[in-house]
Amino acid sequence: MALSTDLHRIFDFIIELDKLKAVLRKTKPVELDRYENSAEHSWQVALLAILLAKEAVPAIDVTRVVEMLLVHDIPEIDTDDRIVYQGRDEQARLAEYAAAERIFGLLPEAQAKWCQDLWAEYDARLTNEAKFAYAIDRLMPLLHNLRNHGQSWVENHVPLDRIFQVNAAIGHSLPSVWPYVQSLIHEFATTTSLISTHSRTGITSSQQV
């Protein structure tokens, strides 16, 4: 009976995650005229983390990172996606914690705690693995923008200084990668007039991530 109950809860949880496929982000997949969803984003950043793990400074447990990235956006089922450049206030933080508690609470106790702990570790960004996971989470949409003519930056009027400020986290965990990425941003900025150095919609360099 205990096994069947646990299986029922696991199955309920995994089907609940179908809803993540309906959560639309602000970036579009390259050459596709639609917004990506948070489920496909989670898969893509997990793979990117594996591919760049050897560049991590300090060294990280990439398995832990991948586990973190697979759960990091699950609360968006309840809260929806939020563009990182707009920052996160206390109300949003509390809403995400409530969402994590509800959704992970569908699982049996031990697995619920495992997911909750992973998610909280990522959110706190105190461990090397969490910092690396966050850097990867910043890098993937940046790459989309560079290949998509700055699509989400342009649509959301993100100023150039804010792009550098938010994505500087990449350099903290991937110091060998960040200079090349910076050069790509500079190159992009010189070939487009669509991104200004000042915000037109209230996204400013003073807002916190």
Decide if 167 contacts 209 (C-beta within 8 A).
Answer: no
pLDDT, tens digit, 9 for 90 and up, residues 11-52 = 999 999 999 999 999 999 999 999 999 999 999 999 999 999
Residue 120: half-sphere exposure toward Cβ, Cα within 13 Å: 11
Which of 161-167's residues contact partners 24+ apart within 8 Å by CB, and which partners? 161/197, 161/205, 162/85, 162/199, 162/203, 162/204, 162/205, 162/207, 163/85, 163/195, 165/205, 166/84, 166/85, 166/138, 166/209, 167/138, 167/139, 167/142
pLDDT at 206 over 90: no
Interval 112-165: pLDDT, tens = 999 999 999 999 999 999 999 999 999 999 999 999 999 999 999 999 999 999
pLDDT for the residue 130: 98
Domains along the chain? 2-24+35-190 (1.10.3210.10)
Q: What is the pTM of this model?
A: 0.91
